[in-house]
Amino acid sequence: MSVKIDQINTTRTEAFPRYRYVIGALILAAHLALGVNFFSISPLFPLAIEDYGITRATASLLIAVPTLIKAMIGLPGSFIVARFGLKRVFTFSWFMIGALTLSSLAPNYTTMLGLRLLYGVGAGLMMPAVGPLVMQWFPAREIPIVNSLNLIVMSLGIAVSVAIAAPMANVISWEAVLGVFGLVALIGALLWTFLGQVQPDSEQSQSRFGLSDIWNVLRNRTIFLLVVGDALVFAFYGALTSWLPTYFHEVRGMSLVQAGNVTGLLPFVGMVSVLVGGYLTYKIKSKRLFFIIPGFLVGIGGFGSFLFANPTFIAASVIIFGVGTWIYQPILLTLPMQLSWMTPKKIAVVWGASLTIAGFGMFISPIVVGASQDLLGTYVPGFIIWAVLGWALVGTGLLLPESDVSQQEQ
């Protein structure tokens, strides 16, 4: 199967030997658009809460709702791509993200929430379309490089938006800041409309799967451990990224700019960690260590980020947490694909389920933290809940079946 796919990809890239770099650049631009618009509003929560007169839990919905929508669309997204066509869905999803350009004109909370909901739909449709697009334009040997670059660029987008949102709000309105980030996506959507291409056979039916297929894959012990462990880590990541800027500002006395800069370390560290993790995948035989050690880093760094009061210790904790969150991602994507019983159809189930489960976790976690402050007057209990659950990644490493781990080491 892999030989056949490689031969097909080689034929395609020979037909378009240079243009695949244009397509690759557009795919990277799509991930940049996803990144800059994901957590861009989190450093601006205090301003939104004041202007709209809303609670913190209500403000959380501006991140939680698009995350939920993205999670709900993750699994059916492949059916939508097959039904309406790859280029059409990719274009439509990109313009939906670009609708955030209208944030600068949003008159109230409901309108802003609606625009953020559109972002969630667009992101949920775009992700299932990226895989087929990459496979048809790039040979198998280049696909891991493209996927790694996509992850790095998306992290860069998150980092930049979190870091500069508050400083920009000192110059223009906070709604206009979100509009500028949305404009990045709109420009990309226009470029894709004129420059984007799909291969002639790209409209063929995609691999389909139903509830029985999902159950058969997810009940496998290795897949269950990987999906759940990763989902709990990113639920914790969502809670911290959403509320640390506000927490640092209100509780630790940081300015909004400083709070955004410290929180922005998370995705910046992620870019480096992904590169290091990919390199170490070829050097370290024990795959368990890729989950056990990061799990400890997630737990230790995560707790320190909201328990320490010293700015230096806070920054160090955020960096440690960022390393733990991202460094295991290359092996997380690789290990399931190398299982002896895995097929392209089943890996689609794994990725779809992972997007859905992690998405639901990232939907709930910011709400829990915001509600913790509204009900108890402190963010700490909400943070602690997800910090404890984040340690599940250690359990993932310890409980991985020996047969599957050994198989990777051969």
Checking if the pLDDT of 21 tops 50, the result is yes
Q: Specify the pLDDT at position 404.
A: 56
Q: Positive or negative CA dihedral for 226, 229, 233, 238?
A: positive
* pLDDT tier, 401 (very low <50, low <70, confident <90, very high otherwise): confident
Q: Specify the pLDDT at position 392.
A: 94
Checking if the pLDDT of 293 tops 90, the result is yes
What's the CA gap between 181 and 283, in Å, rounded? 39
Tokens of 303: 């707790």
- Reported as a single tens digit per residue, the pLDDT across 194-232 is 887 776 554 444 445 456 666 777 788 898 999 899 999
Between 366 and 5, whose confidence is greater? 366
Do 171 and 190 sit in the same domain of this protein? yes
* pLDDT tier, 396 (very low <50, low <70, confident <90, very high otherwise): very high
Checking if the pLDDT of 182 tops 80, the result is yes
Do 300 and 404 sit in the same domain of this protein? yes
Do 260 and 318 sit in the same domain of this protein? yes
Do 201 and 232 sit in the same domain of this protein? no
Q: Specify the pLDDT at position 78.
A: 65
Contact 400, 288 (CB under 8 A): yes
Alpha-carbon distances, residue 364 vs 54, 208, 267, 357 (angstroms):
18, 29, 21, 11
Residue type, 370: G
- Reported as a single tens digit per residue, the pLDDT across 38-66 is 888 888 888 888 888 888 878 888 888 88
Do 266 and 303 sit in the same domain of this protein? yes
Question: How many structural domains are present in the chain?
Answer: 2
Least confident of 60-64, 96-100, 218-222, 399-403: 399-403
Do 82 and 220 sit in the same domain of this protein? no
Q: Specify the pLDDT at position 5.
A: 40
The DSSP element (H or E) to which 125 belongs, if any, is helix 109-137
Between 16 and 150, whose confidence is greater? 150
Domain end: 191, 206, 221, which one?
206
Nearest CA-CA partner of 130 in 181, 178, 196: 196
Domain membership of residue 312 as a residue range = 209-410
> Directed axis angle between helix 109-137 and helix 19-36, to 10°?
150
Contact 307, 357 (CB under 8 A): no
Do 147 and 61 sit in the same domain of this protein? yes
What's the CA gap between 240 and 387, in Å, rounded? 9
Alpha-carbon distances, residue 212 vs 218, 245, 280, 336 (angstroms):
10, 42, 36, 19
Find how far residue 91's CA is from the centre of its chain.
20
Checking if the pLDDT of 384 tops 90, the result is yes
Domain end: 186, 206, 226, which one?
206
Do 98 and 231 sit in the same domain of this protein? no
Do 233 and 181 sit in the same domain of this protein? no
* pLDDT tier, 12 (very low <50, low <70, confident <90, very high otherwise): very low
The overall average pLDDT reported for the chain is 81
* pLDDT tier, 252 (very low <50, low <70, confident <90, very high otherwise): very high
Alpha-carbon distances, residue 13 vs 18, 118, 196, 200, 210 (angstroms):
8, 34, 15, 13, 32
Do 111 and 196 sit in the same domain of this protein? yes
Contact 349, 218 (CB under 8 A): yes
Checking if the pLDDT of 16 tops 60, the result is no
Q: 């990113």: which residue's tokens?
A: 234
Do 233 and 149 sit in the same domain of this protein? no
Alpha-carbon distances, residue 224 vs 281, 293, 340, 390 (angstroms):
21, 19, 16, 16
DSSP 16: S
Percentage of the chain with pLDDT > 90?
Answer: 27
Do 30 and 130 sit in the same domain of this protein? yes
Between 78 and 332, whose confidence is greater? 332
Between 160 and 207, whose confidence is greater? 160
CATH code for the domain of 225: 1.20.1250.20
Q: Specify the pLDDT at position 200.
A: 59
Between 336 and 238, whose confidence is greater? 238
What's the CA gap between 113 and 239, in Å, rounded? 19
Q: Which residues contact 53 (CB under 8 A, 6 or more apart)?
A: none
pTM here is 0.72
Domain end: 190, 206, 222, which one?
206
